[in-house]
Structure 1
Amino acid sequence: MIFRLSGRSVALVSLIPLLFWLPSAMAQDAGIPGIPAFTVTPGEGQGTEEYSVSLQILAFMTALTFLPAMLMMMTSFTRIIVVFAILRQALGLQSTPSNQVLLGLTLFLTIFIMKPVFEEVNTLALQPYMQEEITSMEAVEQASLPFREFMMAQTRESDLALFMRISDEQAATPEDVSFWVLMPAFVTSELKTAFQIGFILFIPFLIIDMVVASVLMAMGMMMLSPIIISLPFKIMLFVLVDGWALIMGTLAASYGI
């Protein structure tokens, strides 16, 4: 496909480089210094550098793209959302509560569970960095310590040993375990725990489905779907036992809260 530009369009396109060059040329002629967007200053220690604020902001904005993955892989988000999804499937509800409601509930419950960790990160890393007491790399290192402690407490030894064996890594103490080995081990343990909780949740609803199906078969109503009849009973059972408070309380208690 060939695009033909008119004379006016060619003139406008030719002016684009001029728009970028003109402000810098005027600033140089007026003696105005340019903005040092990206500068690296050698630090006090050997082999250390300090980056300019603009470069730090660029790195921070780039790191924000990994925020959803970090939220799911380093917090209690995975266990909670999997349990809620299994619960909705056990109840026989396809889209109620909606995905937006479940994600919002999971997010706020995650913040509630992770509040001690976030407060420790704020004390050890964020506040000293805002007061320019530590560098950005030191702040990242200090911020990883509370998350490491939380993840290590929730990770099974068998899962940790599995990934250490796969990566061919040796660690004498838990503090020596690499963060890149701890993260997949933590997620594996979270998924295993979530499916165990989901299995327990499924049992009472499965019993109701079996009873309703047996009654319908005994009555010769085999063409009627048991799900239609059992759904009101499952909802009634869930409401009578105060299911939402019980499940959220159990999830919070599973993290020692």
Structure 2
Amino acid sequence: MTRAVLRATVLLLLVLAPALGALVGSAGSASAAPAAPVSAPAAVSVAAVDEDGPGGPRGPGGPGGSDSSVTIDLEGLADKPSSSVTVLITLTLLSLLPAILLTCTSFTKILIVLGLTRNALGLQQTPPNQVLAGLALFLSLFIMAPVLSEMNDIGVQPYLDGEKTSTEAWDSGIEPLRTFMLHQAGDEELELLTNVADRDLPESREDVAMSTLVPAFILSELKQAFIIGFIIFIPFLVIDIVVSGALMALGMMMMPPVMVSLPFKLLLFVLVNGWGLVITSLVASYQ
């Protein structure tokens, strides 16, 4: 019985020996930890004596901190429009571009005059509508180039550079286009649209509101386009009358006068350089 108790005690000690060793090691390290601050002053004194040696990183407020500081100049950055705002304005202008092209430029007048010229020649689909529209578009860009350049110089670029606010850029940029439309709009059309809008007549043309100026400009363009078209129709109408009278005198009742007059119209139009005269007249009407 005694031997069995002794064996059990020995086995228990063998099992608990590793755990007791770990507890003793942790207690020794815990007791040795407070001795670390004793050596700290020596390390600090060595760093203080070694002034020429490589130093550690210093903060902005420490010695030599001004050498590692970074200065970023943000002056004027908040005044410039962000890229998202610029993209939004660009997309808005692109969506309104067809309406602006038809109502605030010379495109409508040029396209109508070119169409009337084709009808005066007796041609229905020659030149095609796409050709006339393309010619009218590039002639409009040619005529409006000084106005667009001035709008870009005094409105768009100062706004992108942050020199003007959006309101100031709008007021400055719209002024060249407003001046162009005022020069082309007639007094009768301005007075008509002012009365239709039930507004008081302004003291001068420069005081007309844009909501009145734009439709007045369109009406003036239509009026001038029809006047130019009437002048173009006259010589071709004379040719039609002469050909019709000649066919009646010859008793050729069944011969369509258009078949006979069309070659003479084309010949006359080519001899006098008709397209050049029409385009010159259109461009000169805006000078």
Normalising by structure 1, we get a TM-score of 0.77
Instruction: Say if 2:197 is the partner of 1:167.
Output: yes
**AA in 2 matched with 1:189:** S
Distance in 2 between residues matched to 1:89 and 1:98, nearest whole Å: 12
Aligned ranges 1:168-183 → 2 under 5 Å? 168-170=198-200, 171-183=202-214
**Bigger shift: residues 157-166 or 109-118:** 109-118
Distance in 2 between residues matched to 1:55 and 1:126, nearest whole Å: 13
Corresponding residue number in structure 1 for 2:231 = 200
Instruction: Identify if the C-alpha distance between structure 1 residues 112 and 51 changes in structure 2 by more than 3 Å, giving closer, same or farther.
Output: closer
Give, in angstroms, the shift of residue 180 of structure 1.
0.7
Give, in angstroms, the shift of residue 68 of structure 1.
0.8
Instruction: Say if 2:164 is the partner of 1:134.
Output: yes
1:248 to 258, 262, 279: 279
User: Percent identical across equivalent pairs?
Assistant: 51
Instruction: Say if 2:148 is the partner of 1:118.
Output: yes
1:69 to 99, 102, 108: 99
Give, in angstroms, the shift of residue 138 of structure 1.
2.5
Distance in 2 between residues matched to 1:52 and 1:169, nearest whole Å: 40
Distance in 2 between residues matched to 1:105 and 1:212, nearest whole Å: 32
Corresponding residue number in structure 2 for 1:157 = 187
Alpha-carbon displacement from aligned partner over 1:145-173 (angstroms, at most 9, x marks no partner): 01110000011101000000111222222
Query: Unaligned regions of 5+ residues in structure 1, if any?
Result: 1-42, 45-49
Q: What SS is found at the alignment partner of 1:158?
A: helix
**AA in 2 matched with 1:229:** V
Give, in angstroms, the shift of residue 94 of structure 1.
0.7
**AA in 1 matched with 2:269:** F
Give, in angstroms, the shift of residue 227 of structure 1.
0.6
1:239 to 242, 263, 270: 270
Distance in 1 between residues matched to 2:93 and 2:142, nearest whole Å: 23
**Bigger shift: residues 217-226 or 55-64:** 55-64
Instruction: Say if 2:249 is the partner of 1:218.
Output: yes
Distance in 1 between residues matched to 2:85 and 2:153, nearest whole Å: 24
Q: What SS is found at the alignment partner of 2:262?
A: helix
Aligned residues: 209
**Bigger shift: residues 181-190 or 137-146:** 137-146
Distance in 1 between residues matched to 2:220 and 2:117, nearest whole Å: 19
**AA in 1 matched with 2:270:** V
Q: What is the root-mean-square deviation in Å for CA atoms of aligned residues? A: 1.8
CA contact (8 A) 2:81 2:162 kept: no
Alpha-carbon displacement from aligned partner over 1:34-71 (angstroms, at most 9, x marks no partner): xxxxxxxxx99xxxxx9754245234313322111101
Distance in 2 between residues matched to 1:223 and 1:230, nearest whole Å: 15
Corresponding residue number in structure 1 for 2:139 = 109
Give, in angstroms, the shift of residue 219 of structure 1.
1.2
2:178 to 145, 148, 152: 148
Give, in angstroms, the shift of residue 183 of structure 1.
0.3
Distance in 2 between residues matched to 1:137 and 1:234, nearest whole Å: 54
Instruction: Say if 2:119 is the partner of 1:89.
Output: yes
**AA in 2 matched with 1:202:** F
Instruction: Say if 2:232 is the partner of 1:230.
Output: no
Corresponding residue number in structure 2 for 1:23 = none
Give, in angstroms, the shift of residue 135 of structure 1.
2.4
Q: What SS is found at the alignment partner of 1:169?
A: coil
Aligned ranges 1:26-65 → 2 under 5 Å? 53-65=83-95
**AA in 1 matched with 2:204:** T
Give, in angstroms, the shift of residue 144 of structure 1.
1.0
